[in-house]
Amino acid sequence: MGERFDVETLLGALTLAEKASLVSGSGFWWTRRVERVGIPSIMVSDGPHGLRKQADRHDHVGLGQSVPATCFPTASALASSWDRDLVRAVGAAIGTEARAQDLGVVLGPGINLKRSPLCGRNFEYLSEDPVLAGELGTAMVDGIQGQGVGTSLKHFAVNNQEHDRLRVSADVDERPLRELYLAGFERVVRDAQPWTVMCSYNRINGVYASQDPWLLTEVLRDEWGFDGLVVSDWGAVDDPTKALPAGLDLEMPSTGGASARTLVAAVESGALDEAALDTAIRRLLQLLDRALPGVESDDEASYDAHHAFARTAAAECVVLLKNDREVLPISPDVKHIAVIGEFARTPRFQGAGSSKVNPTRVDDALTALRAGVGDDVTIDFAAGFGVDDPTADAAVLLREAVGKASFAHLTVLFLGLPPSYESEGYDRTHIDLPADQLAVLEAVSEVTDRLAVVLANGSVVAVDEWHDRVQAVVEGWLGGQAGGGAVADVLLGTVNPSGRLAETIPVRLQDTASFLSFPGEDRHVRYGEGLFIGYRHHDAIEGPVSYPFGHGLSYTTFAYEDLTVAPIDAARAADGSTWRGVPRLEVSATVTNTGAVAGKEVVQLYVGAPRTETARPIRELKDFAKVSLEPGESTTVVFVVDERDLSSWSTRADGWVLEPGTFEIALGASSRDLRLMTTVEVAAPPVAYPLDRSSTLAEWLEHPVGHEVLVDALRHSRGGDLSSLTEDPERLRMLGSFPMTRLGTLLGGAVDGDVIDGLLARLEQP
């Protein structure tokens, strides 16, 4: 900690009531100050893709009194860039604005996984994959914190739906917790050390995240080394006397003194150790120390420059899903374009709820297209449909749209989800576009065979019913305040699209793994699909998808060659760069731009584990690189695969285990477009799973030490030498699954409970 506070002296000077007051907020956005001893306060503000700084007279999720700020692409868009540098730069821009607004902490990024496309806040989340979410979350935290402003990694954890979000228990087994739902958080905490982590509203396996010592202390701090402050989501604390000792440090927002009174009473009655308050205050002081500028801040943010950057950023996020007959980019030969759809004129560029930014300005695609084409090009516009507007006359709008499209050489149809369809606070019930928009699409597609659809949506929409009727589909997401200009840049070819899907577009909602259990009932949601969400599910069952995870087209093409996989040299093994003798692997390949224009490729590294008794996804993303190449240019991409990349969580071993075997290493352009693949033998030492009284005969024999101990005991058993049993495959197949304690009679009483306790004791011996 810096020099600003003499922490121990302060703790000695604070009264119990003052201490209790410090661990909850002041008003909606401030930490509490104690002027008597010189503890100042800081202001925090949403959110993940731009600031929502409200005066203390707040309306929580509205725009009232929120200071104008640059609205960058929302998380589902940003993640589609697959670009760490870009996300870091967006973070830096948000950090600069935050600093200029004297904010101490930006409440983001949100990195919860997209378990279902229905989650109302998917637009605020990055991906269905923890590596992608974790890497981009790390970049965002680095970017913001690099400007001297804190972040709040949220919502920790397993907050994958809005339905009943303040009470629901996400009931998840430990493997999916570790391998999916916690993995992204772990990555960001280890790699970027966010100053704060925001615990979620929900319960996890019955325990509120805000008062779960396993989550907030054992895992977050003891295992991952988090040294910052845990803040509650706004209103997430059910019982402050449980939250504080569990590891929560700051309850937000203010409870008007109620929590402080409860905490004082708990300390006075002996129910709560005052040391828990001291610990939280130490962390609060550390946060203040980090967040308060050394000198009075006179920073300024350049909103014009940020707007221009927001356009560049949004263009990187656009995913070209389909482009038949190279209908895009719009050729200079096209002299008459019909632009249809209200979203072209009235863009939908962000979602609703606590992340809603009051933008400094907003670009629309129609204006940007008109500005981008030559004087000799005519652009005709028709609204086509109303957005959340019951008074719109659908028949008239549709007729006008068809008329315009039938005279044009090319039609661009802007479709999307109306604002009421997706928001914080509630989930969607389906993934379809509104019927009136689909009617326009159908009618327009009858009169033109050069039709490009541009989508504006925060969470995926089904395309299966209609994408065969159109020549191109451009997924523009919610691209922030400059998203309209960015879409125009991609349509006109000023920018070559390089976004890739950070989530699968399923054929039907019914095809998604959580379909039958989302969003649960009676305050519980059971994550019965376990490890198999998103592409892990679709690829495992080889089910059809509309567009796979990682997919995205470019106006150029790329070739992949020369895959090599080699252990990283043994010399580095001695310095701890191997684990338990297993070398890390270096994976490399050459990527070449084989087309006529410059472009960017996202090279994705997938690992497939050997088929063992442990259920594993067919393949999982482990790393990725975005490379920019001129026509004809090549580059070498290099990745490092480490033990953790090959491992799975074992509840039996209570840790990560690496099972030896043949692993598949593949590089590709999506989870279903693997361009290069090879296999590698990994000869890991056998895992020594702990043995106990219910371990089976087979488990004893698998155990490197237990095996010897057991064979020795059988050899000298009271009933004579029974060790031949361990060499008789047929009997072993029969008896292997018997817990040793139940084998007693089958082995003629030779192995009873006492014998097993004796064996277990021998295992303990050094």
Catalytic residue annotation: 233
The CB-of-355 to ligand BGC minimum distance in angstroms stands at 7
Both structure tokens of 340: 């249809």
Using CB under 6 A, pick the residue from 154, 178, 187, 348 that binds ligand BGC. Answer: 154
**Binding residue (CB under 6 A) for ligand BGC from 233, 432, 511, 529:** 233
Total residues contacting ligand BGC (rule CB under 6 A)? Answer: 7
Residue type, 165: R
Query: Which of 33, 57, 109, 83 minimizes the C-alpha distance to 624?
Result: 83
Q: CA-to-CA distance for 665 and 656, rounded, in angstroms?
A: 20
d(CA 488, CA 496) in angstroms, rounded, equals 11
SS3 at position 266: helix
Distances (CA, A) of 19 to 9, 13, 24, 37, 468: 13, 10, 10, 11, 64
Distance (Å) of CA 342 to CA 372, 455, 475: 19, 12, 16
Least CB distance from residue 42 to ligand BGC, whole Å?
15
Q: How far is the CB of 525 from ligand BGC (least distance, A)?
A: 17
Is 354 among the residues that bind ligand BGC (CB under 6 A)? yes
Instruction: Report d(CA 754, CA 766) in Å as an integer.
Output: 21
Select 53 or 307, whichever has its Cβ closest to ligand BGC.
53
**Identity (one letter) of the amino acid at 613?**
E
Alpha helix stretches (DSSP H) within 500-657: 535-540, 643-646
Backbone phi, then psi, for 305, in 5-degree steps? -65, -40
| Shortest separation between residue 90's beta carbon and ligand BGC, angstroms | 18
Is residue 91 a contact partner of residue 137, using CB atoms and an 8 Å limit? no
Judge if the upstream peptide bond of residue 686 is cis by omega within 30 degrees of 0: no
C-alpha–C-alpha distance, residues 465 and 549, integer Å? 19
| CB closer to ligand BGC, 199 vs 413 | 199
Nearest to 360 by CA among 275, 440, 301, 447: 301
Closer residue to ligand BGC, CB minimum distance, 108 or 548: 108
In whole angstroms, the minimum distance from the beta carbon of 189 to ligand BGC comes to: 18
Compare residues 51 and 314 and give the one whose CB is closer to ligand BGC.
51
556: how many CB neighbours lie within 10 A of its CB? 19
Among 5, 82, 123, 234, binds ligand BGC (CB under 6 A): 234
Residue number of the CB atom closest to ligand BGC: 354
- Shortest distance in whole angstroms from residue 104 CB to ligand BGC: 14
- Considering only residues 99-138, where is the footprint of ligand BGC by CB under 6 A? 107
Site for ligand BGC in 598-657 (CB under 6 A): none
Token look-up 């190449």 returns 629
Distance CA 725, CA 550 (A): 51
Cβ 331 vs Cβ 454: under 8 Å = no
The binding track of 36-55 with respect to ligand BGC, each residue x by CB under 6 A or -, is: ----------xx--------
Is 51 or 587 the residue whose CB approaches ligand BGC more closely? 51
| Other beta carbons less than 10 A from residue 343's beta carbon | 30
* Identity of the residue, 354 or 437, whose beta carbon is nearer to ligand BGC in the bound complex: 354
CB nearer ligand BGC, residue 107 or residue 697: 107
Question: Which residues of the shown chain bind ligand BGC in the complex (CB under 6 A)?
Answer: 46-47, 107, 154, 233-234, 354
